[in-house]
Each structure stands twice: as C-alpha cells, then as structure tokens.
Copies of this chain bind each other. A is one copy, B any other.
Amino acid sequence: MDIAELSNKILSRDRRALARAITLVESQRADHRAQAEELLGTLARQRRQALRIGLSGTPGVGKSTFIESFGLMLTEQGLRVAVLAVDPSSARSGGSILGDKTRMERLSRDPDAFIRPSPSQTHLGGVARRTRDVVALCEAADFDVVLIETVGVGQSETVVAEISDLFLLLLAPAGGDELQGVKRGIMEIADVILVNKADGDLKPAAGRTCADYSGALRLLRKRPQDPPGYPKAMMVSALEEEGLSQAWTELQQLNIWRREHGHWNQRRAEQARYWFAQEVRQTLLAQLDSPQARARMADLGDSVAQGDQSINQAARQMLTTLDPT
C-alpha cells in the first residue's frame, strides 16, 4: 500500500481512501500496524482539528434519531460530519441489531457525512486505541465535527470523554422526579444534557426531567473549564427537529469560551499525555499476548504451580524471552 498516496487522498477528502485507512488502523496485523503508524504520523503533521463531541445515552432514548437529525442540521449549515460508534459490547452481543448505516439512513446518504460502525472488538483498550486513530483520520480528512457515540457499557463513557472536547448526555423524559439511575460519574463528565422526545404527550414529562437535571447539575462541584451556566440541561425533539440548533449554539458557545480561556488546548494536551501513557502500558503488556508468549507463560506457570521454581525466578525467565520492540 502506498502510504503517501493514501495520505494525500485523505487530505483531499477522499471518502474511499478514508474508509481504507480506517480498515488499516483497525487491523491487528503487524505490517498493517506499521503502515498505520506511518500514515497517522504523516497526517498528524497537518494538525487539522475537528470539534470532537462525545455522546452517550442508553438504548431507547432515541440516539440514532438524534444523531441523524443533528447531523443533517450540521451538513445543511455546510459542515462536514463524521459519526463513530464505540460499543465494546457489540462483539459479545453479535453486533447491533441493525447496522449503524441502516439506523441513520438519510445521514448515511449525505455526501458531507461519514458514518463508521463500531468494530467487533471486545477489549475496551483496543476500542479506545482504534477510536483515537479513527478520530485522527477523520480530522485529517477535513471533517468539522466528529460525533463519537457510546452506548454507555461499563467504562466506555470515560474512554469517549477522554477522546472528546465536549460531552453530550442524551436522556428520555422520566416519570416523576426520578433521575433515571444516571451514575454520578456520567453526570460529572457531561457538558450538556439533552432531554430528548420533548414532543407530543411526553413534552410535559420532558420539561420536568429537564428541570430535575438542571437542579442536579447545579449541585455538582464547579469545574474550571465551565463558563457560568454550564453544564446545562436542555430539551430537544430529534423526531420533530426541535431545539437542535439551540443545542448546537450552546455547544459552540461553550467551545469558543474554552478555546479563548485556554481550556481547550490544555485539555487536548492532557488527553494526549494520558493516551500516550496508556499506549505505552498496553503495548508493554501486549507482548504477553502472542501465541509464543502465551505458551511460555503456561509452561512457566506450570513449573511454578509444581513448586519447581519460585514465582520471581519464573517471572524473570519470562521477561528475558520478550522483545519490547
């Protein structure tokens, strides 16, 4: 594969080249990994940046409808939008019932939108690495907004928040004043909460839910990266395409404020340092995943279990057989 040519095509917004590059960075093959690193290194020098928006919401809140409506509104404004999914559970559950492109039919046909479904990987570390790389590819391909969607399984929100500039939490109207069992940790990473389905019979309930969350957000500790009034809760109807442009205005205002006050740069730098440290640790431990290393671990584990040598001696023997490069 000609990496220089692939790189140039991506920079000139070639969608097929982008799709090929994503397949490359998702590959586990050593030669593909080397090519992917070369490609990402080349593209990084362009320093193109999109607005990265993380989005979480449990099944049933209308996430697909929201992404489709929100994405189409953005492309109508002349913006280019990429949608990525982070779903570490998809491998276990055999993938989404419907593929992401089927879920977002209109958006997937939009020439200014690019939708990439979640790959089949169970390992959250692998998902995180792949998502970081795909975001970098989308930024190089000159997308203005990258939406990173997660279903909120286990730690996936934290991973997405560590990749995003802004984090959106999508909720459905709830009965009474219950807070839908949203974990405190998720509340703390949300920048804007959108109560979806504020339409028809559900509109009053959406209003109450929105008020409940506005109250709950005011009780959270003030974060230095927030201007007055943030984080905030708002109502939207993805179905009736209501409130979407207001939500976008809020997100842009927040983004501009953070850029002007240095928080945006600081956060991207912190994220880069964090993922670099994670990558070093994971690559170190990945040496234990090769078939040879596994076989050697099993043999040495047996000899330790049989008392033939001490744990420390066996560990030292194991480490001498590894080559970190």
Give A contacts to B, CB under 8 Å.
36-37, 40-41, 44, 47, 132-133, 136, 268-270, 272-273, 275-277, 279-281, 283-285, 287-288, 297, 300-302, 304-307, 309-316, 318-320, 322, 324-325
Contact = CB atoms under 8 A, between A and B. Distances in A.
B300 A276 contact: yes
Given A44-B307, A281-B288, 8 more contacts: A37-B316, A270-B305, A276-B297, A276-B311, A280-B319, A283-B316, A285-B285, A319-B325
Among A281, A307, A310, A322, the most chain B Cβ lie within 10 Å of the Cβ of: A310
Nearest to A300: B276
Pairs A-B, 9 closest by C-beta atoms: A269-B305, A279-B315, A273-B301, A272-B305, A272-B304, A276-B304, A40-B310, A319-B324, A44-B310
The oligomer's copy count stands at 2
Given A285-B281, A324-B322, A315 B276 contact: yes
Nearest to A313: B41
Contacts of A36: 312
A107 B130 CA distance: 58
A276 B301 contact: yes
A288 B306 CA distance: 31
A305 B312 CA distance: 37
A136 B309 CA distance: 12
A268 B132 CA distance: 42
Q: Is the interface of A mostly helix, strand, loop or mixed?
A: helix
A44 B307 CA distance: 7
A298 to B, nearest CB: 9
Contact of A311 (B132, B304, B318): B132
Contacts of A316: 37, 283, 325
Contacts of A272: 301, 304-305, 307, 311
A294 B41 CA distance: 24
A297 B40 CA distance: 20
A37 B312 contact: yes
A306 B36 CA distance: 21
Nearest to A324: B319
A137 to B, nearest CB: 11
A320 B324 contact: yes
Contacts of A277: 297, 301
A275 B312 CA distance: 9
A271 to B, nearest CB: 9
